[in-house]
Structure formats: structure tokens, C-alpha cells
Amino acid sequence: MIAYAPYLILLLPLFSAVLIRLVLHPFPRIAVPVSVAACLGSFLGSLVLLNGGTPSGGMAAPAVTWIELGGLKAGFALMADPLARLMATLVTGVA
């Protein structure tokens, strides 16, 4: 779970925004708790990320394959050094 915390921090607010805009827009009583839950989940993910890893080194999330064409395999991964982990916690805590 801790390895996927950087993806959780980024994708929870994105998915909730898309869900609210496409599905829940006419229902504000449901949309508000969904957005609050996404922000809270993102904050909890940043706390998990802040608590994990080593104090002096970074932490890498597992690489994800983005596209694969023939012999070409393009992917991406997220890296969180101590400053990035602290800033993610501060930003999601304010949100």
C-alpha cells in the first residue's frame, strides 16, 4: 500500500473531480461528501508517504507501463524525496 501512495495522492482528487463533473453535477448533496472524501483520502495518502521511506533518501513508486508498441515500452514512475513528501503533506493538509 505504501508503494502506491504517490499515485493515490494524485489520482483520488482527479477521479473525484471527473466523477462529480460527469455524474454528480445535478446532485450537490452527494457531490460534496465525495469531494471531501477524496481530499481526506489524498491527505491520508500523503501521511502514509511522509511516514514511509528513509529520512535521508527518496522513495520510488512502482513503475507503470504507459504504452507498449512492438519493442518500445514507455512507462513512468513517481519518486518522492523527503522534501516532496513534506510538501505533499502540507498541500493536501491545507486542501
- Pick from 51, 55, 47: nearest CA to 88: 47
Percent pLDDT > 90 in the chain is 46
The tally of domains found in the chain comes to 1
Q: What is the mean pLDDT of each run of 10 residues along the chain (95 residues)?
A: 81 95 91 94 90 71 87 87 89 89
pTM of this prediction? 0.80
- Pick from 64, 84, 56: nearest CA to 4: 64
Task: Please give the residue range of the domain that contains residue 14.
Answer: 2-94
